[in-house]
Amino acid sequence: MKRLTNRETQLLLSAVSILHAHPGTGDVHERILQATREVLAAEWYALDCFHPQGFWLNRNWQTPVNSATPKDVESFGRYAHEHPLFTAFIETGLPEPRKTTDFISTQRFQRLGIYNEFFRRWARTASY
């Protein structure tokens, strides 16, 4: 594992601080998105929920809020089973955040229905 720079360390500590700020109040999902925004630059962030028995719970949080339309969310739900992280979650519980490219190449991901029906919209700046 590489050593973190001072800047990376500060960003990470800031994100951890956000996650643990006022744990009994507020929305944990918003704190997760805020902490993620602290360390990773992107135009769009989303957090989705899956049931351990293998289905999407049709719950998501996104920043900017409502950037994915209801039609987008419906498309995501229709193709969620194709997402490589979904399969990894069902098989292992996926206890830590991961990128799609930890499981599948960008080229293979771009051939999936979930990419073409949902993720293509954010493809210019996406970090899968």
Using the Cα atoms of residue 46, residue 69, residue 123 and residue 116 in order, give the sign of their dihedral.
Answer: positive
Whose structure tokens read 């498309």? 75
Whose structure tokens read 């209801």? 70
Q: What is the pLDDT of residue 25?
A: 61
Nearby residues of 22 by Cβ (< 8 Å), 6 or more positions away: none
Q: What is the pLDDT of residue 80?
A: 80
Q: Among 115, 106, 36, which Cα is nearest to 83's?
A: 115
Percent of the chain residues topping a pLDDT of 70: 69
pLDDT band for position 113 (cuts 50, 70, 90): very high
Contact between 60 and 27 under an 8 Å Cβ cutoff? The reply is: no
Quote the CA–CA distance of 44 and 122 in Å, as a whole number: 7
93-102 per-position pLDDT tens digit: 766 667 788 8
